[in-house]
Amino acid sequence: MLTLILVLIIIVCILLIGVVLLQNSKGGGLAANFSSAQIMGVRRTADVLERGTWILAGALIFLCIVSTAVVSNSSGEVEKKSVIEDQVNTEQGGIPVMPNTGLPQQTADSAK
């Protein structure tokens, strides 16, 4: 699944690069040399390229978020406590120790 998403991200990136290069910049851009500008009109071609840029950018953002979710779900490991924290707790005679202080926590039994 992750491989499919990564391939889609690469394809969208390549398409996005192409669409951005085709857009009409202040200097004329690559879109000015295509015959589609004469068929559809320059303004309409610019609108299509701009819309394509927004769609591809949105698709790229969506795919990146999905890939992050897939990676975090595929790890499958439950977050474990630190081994050092477990050793400190057991060396204190089983008395829970407050994090970052080394002081014993007050429990219901120790409050009496």
Contacts 24+ apart (CB under 8 A), 42-51: 49/19, 49/22, 49/23, 49/24, 50/23
0.75 exceeded by pTM: no
Confidence of residue 25 (pLDDT cuts 50, 70, 90): low
The mean of the pLDDT values for the chain is: 74
Asked if the model's pLDDT at residue 106 lies above 90, the reply is no
The mean pLDDT of 52-71, rounded to a whole number, is 94
pLDDT at position 4: 94
Residues 93-102 have pLDDT tens digits of 555 555 665 5
The mean pLDDT of 38-50, rounded to a whole number, is 70
Calpha distance 51→14 (Å, rounded):
16
| pLDDT-wise least confident of 26-30, 47-51, 57-61 | 26-30
Report whether 97 contacts 104 (CB < 8 A).
yes
Give residue limits of the domains in the chain: 7-74
Report whether 48 contacts 40 (CB < 8 A).
yes
Tokens 């795919």 correspond to what residue?
A: 63
| Closest to 89 measured CA to CA, from 103, 106, 79, 78 | 103
Helix (H) or strand (E) holding 52: helix 42-74
pLDDT at position 45: 74
| Closest to 5 measured CA to CA, from 73, 54, 60, 55 | 60
